Amino acid sequence: MLNKLSRLLNEAGISLSDHQKNQLVGYVDMLHKWNKAYNLTSVRDPNEMLVRHILDSIVVAPSLKGERFIDVGTGPGLPGIPLSIVRPDAHFTLLDSLGKRVRFLRQVQHELNLDNITPVQSRVEAFPAEPPFDGVISRAFASLTDMVNWCHHLPGAEGRFYALKGQLPEDEIAQLPEGFSVESVVELRVPQLEGERHLVIITPNKI
């Protein structure tokens, strides 16, 4: 699996240390093992997880600005855990409302010795941003409108929303509420993944 990950990283033009690669493979091993009992992801094949979960998460790393991020509706830690491994200089709060997912995240934190993540069980609307975050990240979480409405209290003055999407959600972009605008859309290239992938970066308008 380490060899396959190395090939995928080469294809994506991403350079990581052996330690980071081992952490990513360790995370996939845990996800595969826990998935049998906890049903954390519909992806069953670890090799497929490397593409659809690991690479699909870390390709957004170059676009993230800041050091404090919150991954809302993180599920089994996607994209937060892969990003925390490739961005050890940044801190990631991993938010999910389901206890079994948060228990899994705490076990990952323990086994992989990740000191730059904080798993939290909470609904996003009820979670206080003290202090506010540089970035609010979501993957397969909600529509853009729901994301900014539910998470509007989380980013700081210079903070951004980062929404990982498949096809470019032109309808959702058109329906963004007042007070929010799209700063940029990044077309993502994920080796061996079929279909389009986009990162929509949204900023709250300065009043």
Going through the chain in order, the beta strands assigned E by DSSP cover 68-72, 91-96, 117-121, 133-139, 155-165, 180-187, 198-204
Identify the CATH number of the domain in which residue 125 sits: 3.40.50.150
Q: What is the pLDDT of residue 140?
A: 82
At 99 the pLDDT is 96
CB 88 within 8 A of CB 114: no
Burial of 132 (0-12, 13-18, 19+ CB in 10 A): middle
First to last CA, the chain: 49
User: What pLDDT, on a 0 to 100 scale, did the predictor assign at position 176?
Assistant: 97
- pLDDT more than 70, % of the chain: 99
Mean pLDDT across the chain, nearest whole number? Answer: 96
The answer to whether the annotation marks 139 as part of a ligand binding site is: yes
Band of pLDDT at residue 206, cut at 50, 70 and 90: low
Query: Which tokens sit at 189?
Result: 């290239």
Amino acid at 45: D
Structural domain count, the chain: 1
Q: Per-residue confidence at 85, pLDDT binned at 50, 70, 90?
A: very high
Q: Give me the pLDDT at residue 150, please.
A: 96
* Amino acid sitting at position 100: K
In percent, the amount of the chain with pLDDT more than 90 equals 97
- Rounded CA-CA distance 38/76 in Å is 10
Q: Count the neighbouring beta carbons within 10 Å of the beta carbon of residue 133.
A: 24
Kindly report, residue by residue over 26-66, the tens digit of the pLDDT: 999 999 999 999 999 999 999 999 999 999 999 999 999 99
Residue 99, annotated ligand binder?
no
- Find the mean pLDDT for residues 130-153: 95
| Domain residue limits at 148 | 1-206
Distance CA 77, CA 73 (A): 9
Segment 87-104 mean pLDDT = 97
Query: Has 73 been labeled as part of a binding site?
Result: yes
Residue 120 labelled as part of a binding site: no
186 is in an annotated binding site: no
Whether the predicted pLDDT of 207 surpasses 60: no
